[in-house]
Structure 1
Amino acid sequence: MSSFQALMQEQVRNEFTASQQYIGIAVWFDGQDLPQLAAHFYRQSLEERNHAMMLVQYMLDREMQVTIPGVEVKPVNFQQVTDPIVAALEQEKEVTAQIEKLFRAAREEGDVIGEQFIQWFLKEQVEEVASTSTLLTVAERAGDNWFHLEDYLARETVGDEGADASAPAVAGGAL
């Protein structure tokens, strides 16, 4: 198994872990009676799940071995409205570094098809980090009035919500 293939398998786990963390964040917001924030992070969870399944479909198409791994458990005991958003931003920056590593591995191995596939994920990470950074800025400005953040999410579109016609195919179909 090449380094790129091993990293692809690892990235499936990373994306499912991100999906699971977003579910935890969404549930926390639901428990705080913040439905707009909860809905946003439920959608983010589905988007991360779809990213994992894009990787799976690519590996199936390239006749690579695919194993669906367990996920890392991330803490979801937050105190302030900004805490889960900070966790989400840290996670998106971590995923960006992981995707960059995948890209470099494909390039070093001369896997031009793999390199081309990963380019979509690089573009996606720019959007993910930017939209999460904006959400954090708005949350910080909202201060103790969490409903300002709810109002912001009710009237603004944050991120592309996974709607990208150039996205790779999702194994089993996108949710």
Structure 2
Amino acid sequence: MSKRISDKMEKILNTQMTREAYQAQVYLSYASWAEVNGFPGIATFLYGHMQEEREHMFKILKYINDRGGESKIEAIKAAPKNPKNLGDCFEQILQHEIDNSKEIDKIVNLAHEEKDWSTFNFGQWFVEEQIEEETLINDIIDKYHLAAGEGKGGNSNLYDMDRDLASASQEGDLPREENL
């Protein structure tokens, strides 16, 4: 099979593949921390994201190989220390996602510079995914602050109200005439 990505692109994609594996480790570590600290719902959410990061890693691996490059499976560093609390957990996750977005941007920029439109197109999926991830985690942080009674006038009652409104009808009840 002929190689259809540059050596530089192959290297940056391999680095990103390893970064996605590291992201999975972070989610795995934080999920385990949440589980042992009595937050099974948050743990389930984080375990799910761990699996998603592994899928991202595999997507990059397949892309490298399919373009005639060679994926390099390398060691990943250990996950960071446990968060101090839930707020810290989500803030750390957000920072990891922001950092990951910057690295995805480097891939897309290199693809543009090299006029590697296949990789540019491939990278767009990750750009969109990162926008979604950052938005999701920011929303979770907002909910956390509401539930914890922090900032924005939050309290757990507002959290409950917000959750209820997410599935509330968009129609109001009209007054009905009663039969006299």
Task: Name the TM tier (shorter chain).
Answer: 0.7 to 0.9
Q: Larger radius of gyration, structure 1 or 2?
A: 2
1:107 paired to 2:121: no
Kept in 1: contact 2:29–2:82 (CA 8 A): no
What percentage of residue pairs aligned between the two structures are identical? Answer: 25
Structure 1 unmatched ranges of 5 or more: 157-175
For 1:52, the equivalent position in structure 2 comes to: 57
Kept in 2: contact 1:76–1:84 (CA 8 A): no
Please, what TM-score do these two structures have when normalized by structure 1?
0.80
Q: Choose the corresponding residue for 1:67, options 72, 82, 95.
A: 72
Task: State the distance in 2 between where 1:10 and 1:96 align.
Answer: 14
1:142 paired to 2:138: no
Aligned-pair CA distance for 1:111: 0.5
For 2:173, the equivalent position in structure 1 comes to: none
Number of equivalenced pairs? 150
Kept in 2: contact 1:11–1:98 (CA 8 A): yes
Kept in 2: contact 1:13–1:69 (CA 8 A): yes
For 2:42, the equivalent position in structure 1 comes to: 37
Within a 5 Å distance, the mapping from 1:1-175 to structure 2 comes to: 2-143=7-148
CA RMSD of aligned residues (A): 1.9
Higher relative contact order (CA 8 A, sep 6+): 1
Aligned-pair CA distance for 1:144: 7.0
Task: State the distance in 2 between where 1:96 and 1:72 align.
Answer: 19
Moved segments of 4+, more than 6 Å: none
